[in-house]
Structure 1
């Protein structure tokens, strides 16, 4: 029992150290040696508990996505709003994009994961996200089609965000987010009128509350 407790504490120390370092320096610039030094753990234990630095990165990414979803759900409940999964997803997408725009530490971490193919190599929540969304819209896609849509959208998201940050896309942040949601839902083959309605309604809901990613990826 004592060994289990020590092991669990060591695993948590590694994870918390990686969160602080990934936030401060980005995923790419943070080495396993830096994580080991910060956590006080043997570098080999990173692979033991997480498989690789990529395993750590994807665990943090999955936690971020799940926590954002939970925070949005919590705020919708407080406001007494009942929404479809599709509408809630659009609100979550707005929250994610707003944090991408205003928290450069978060956007750097996200770009690093995409740039090093971590989101494609590791088991992320991306495909489950699209599968659940498709099923809620009564779209019967195969596993191949879900994976194709998920990773095509991830690549497109990386490209348009980098282009926007570089000033190659000239529009307001709100127009950018609206277009991002349109791209996401259009890739799924949804009806254009439905997409238009979801964009409009999600915009009104987004103005009612704020979900922020703060230092060391804490979400409030």
Structure 2
């Protein structure tokens, strides 16, 4: 029991140290040696517990995405707002894009994961999100089709956000987010009228609360 407790504490220290370093320096600039030094653990334990730095990166990413979903659900419940999974996903997408715009530490971490192909090499919770979303919309996609939609959306998100940040896309932030959601829904193969309704309704609901990514990826 003693060894198990020590091992669990060491694993948690590595994870918390990596989150802090990923937030402050980005994923790419954070080395396993830096994580080991910050956590006080042997560098070999990173691979032992997480498989690789990529394994750590995807765990942090998955925690962020799951925490955003949970926080949006919490706010909707507090306000007594009932939504479909499709509408809630659009609201979460707005939250994610807003944080991309205003939290450069988060956007850098996200771009780093995409740039180093971590999101394509490791298992992301987003694929499962898309699967559940498709099922809720009565879309009977295969595992291949779900994976295709998931990775195509990730690549498109990276491209359009980088282009927007570089000033290559000239529009308001709201038009940008609306178009991003429209792209996501189109990738899902949903009806155009339904897409317009979800975009408009999610915008009205999102104005009622704020979800922010703070230091070390804490969601408030």
Query: Could you tell me the TM-score, scaled by structure 2's length?
Result: 0.99
Q: Deviations over 1:48-84 (max 9, x none)?
A: 0000000000000000000000000000000000000
CA–CA separation in structure 2 for the residues paired with 1:88 and 1:181? 12
Q: Provide the rounded CA distance (Å) in 2 between the counterparts of 1:70 and 1:148.
A: 25
1:121-178 Cα distance to aligned partner (Å, 9 max, x none): 0011121111111000000111111111111111000000000000000001000000
Secondary structure of the corresponding residue to residue 219 of structure 2: coil
Q: Where does the alignment leave 5 or more consecutive residues of structure 2 unmatched? A: none
Describe the superposition over 1:191-216 as per-residue Cα deviations: whole angstroms up to 9, x where unpaired: 00000000000000000000000011
TM-score by length of 1: 0.99
Counterpart in the other structure of 2:186: 186
Tell me the distance in 2 between the aligned counterparts of 1:68 and 1:130: 15
C-alpha deviation, 1:45, in angstroms: 0.2
Q: CA deviation at 1:21?
A: 0.3
Listed one character per residue, the Cα deviations across residues 85-112 of structure 1 (whole Å, up to 9, x for unaligned) are 0000000000000000000000000000
SS of aligned partner of 1:63: helix
Secondary structure of the residue that 1:15 maps to in structure 2?
helix
Aligned equivalents of 1:73, 1:126: Cα separation in 2: 16
Counterpart Cα distance in 1 of 2:196 and 2:23: 35
Matched with 1:160 is 160
SS of corresponding position for 1:135: helix
Distance in 2 between the 1:164 and 1:93 partners?
A: 16
**Structure 1: distance between partners of 2:215 and 2:209:** 20
- Residue 14 of structure 1 corresponds to 14
Distance 2:127 2:218 in 1: 24
Q: Once the two structures are superposed, what CA deviation does each residue of 1:14-63 show, in whole Å capped at 9, x if it has no partner?
A: 00000000000000000000000000000000000000000000000000
Structure 1: 5+ residue stretches without partners: none
In 2, Cα distance between the equivalents of 1:127 and 1:145? 10
Q: Give, in whole Å, the separation in 1 of the partners of 2:38 and 2:77.
A: 39
RMSD in angstroms over aligned alpha carbons? Answer: 0.4
CA distance in structure 1 between the partners assigned to 2:6 and 2:144 by the alignment: 42
